Amino acid sequence: MLLWPDIVLACNGDCGSRWALLDPKGPIATQEKGLIITAFALMLLVVIPVIFMTIAFAWKFRASNKAAQYTPKWDNSLKIETVVWLVPTVIVAILAMIVWKSSHELSPYRPIASSQAPLQVEVVSMNWKWLFIYPDKGVATVNQLVIPAGVPVSFSITSDTVMSSFFIPQLGGQIYAMAGMQTRLQLVADQPGSYQGLNTQFSGDGFPGMHFETVVTTPPDFEGWVRQVKRSRDALGTEAFAQLEAPSANVPPKYFSSVAPQLFEHVLQKYQPHAEARGKPAQDMGRMM
């Protein structure tokens, strides 16, 4: 394992926190937290009165209260019908407007507005580990994602096995990784730190160990980390990738100083019908060094 003194490798006590969603470290996660709290508050407008009315009715019509008027044949109150139907309708309408607006603003495919060019990261879900390829940097890692703070990150995500779900709770967004398909996700971190990433879709025996560390550094430290990874003796060619495909869980971070050309495209296409007719990226892998 490579050691980089300026990168925080510990979880700082919050990697496994069950309250990670309420402790956002990026603008996307912050907006999603606001949506959670807003939806929760709107639903409480119905839940809290119902709880109080249940207690009040039970107390008023208790067996020992002989003064309570009991009218089992009573029905058809316009006031009650209005409240019962109007309040939920208003709440649903408000939620619908919020969901419509946020679904477009927080679309995982929508680029994040920034003066800086996004960092491209290709993500491959495997049994039971995560492979991260940095195509512009020419390096790759397993079970450790390193990104610079304040720089948008554009993820291209696919799977080399069954369906998984890519999720970094404190940075926001959760999206599926599916064989033969490519999904996209845009994230940005506000500050350096270490945050837990995980798979939230059950994917077999090694599912509990399918997690990774997201290390957020300053931009200069990130470039230093890339230079250090390039000094690694391991290259991600055909043989190394075949070894990664073997099922294994709780895999410690690994680093590769170079990556076979079009590796992500190879994984993407090999699960699509008639992949051979569109090209042979597997042969390109064989030209590695």
147 burial class (0-12, 13-18, 19+ CB within 10 angstroms)? Answer: buried
d(CA 263, CA 268): 9
Nearest to 133 by CA among 278, 254, 1, 270: 254
- Block residue for tokens 């006590």: 13
Residue 220 has a CB neighbour count (10 Å cut-off) of: 10
- The reply to whether 119-285 shares the fold of 27-105 is no
Helix (H) or strand (E) holding 156: strand 153-159
Query: How do residues 102-145 score in pLDDT, each as one tens digit?
Result: 999 999 999 999 999 999 999 999 999 999 999 999 999 999 99
Q: Is the pLDDT of residue 162 over 50?
A: yes
CATH, domain range 27-105:
1.10.287
Mean pLDDT of 212-234: 97
The larger pLDDT score, comparing residue 283 to residue 183, is at 183
SS3 at position 84: helix
Which amino acid is located at 112 in the chain? I
- Where are the domains positioned within the chain? 27-105, 119-285
Token pair for 82: 């209005």
Q: Which residues pair with 15 in a beta bridge?
A: none
SS3 at position 23: coil
For the chain, the C-alpha Rg in angstroms (whole number) is 26
d(CA 213, CA 64): 61
Q: What is the band of 20 on the pLDDT scale with cuts at 50, 70, 90?
A: confident
Which CATH architecture best describes the domain 119-285? Sandwich (2.60)
Mean pLDDT of 74-95: 90
Cβ-Cβ contacts under 8 Å for 262 (sequence gap 6 or more): 281, 284, 285
Task: Give the full edge-to-edge strand order of the sheet including 174-177.
Answer: 144-148, 211-217, 193-199, 164-167, 174-177
User: How far apart, in Å, are the Cα atoms of 7 and each of 14, 120, 222, 252?
Assistant: 16, 20, 9, 16
Token pair for 224: 């230093």
Nearest to 209 by CA among 130, 147, 140: 130
d(CA 184, CA 107): 10
pTM of the model: 0.82
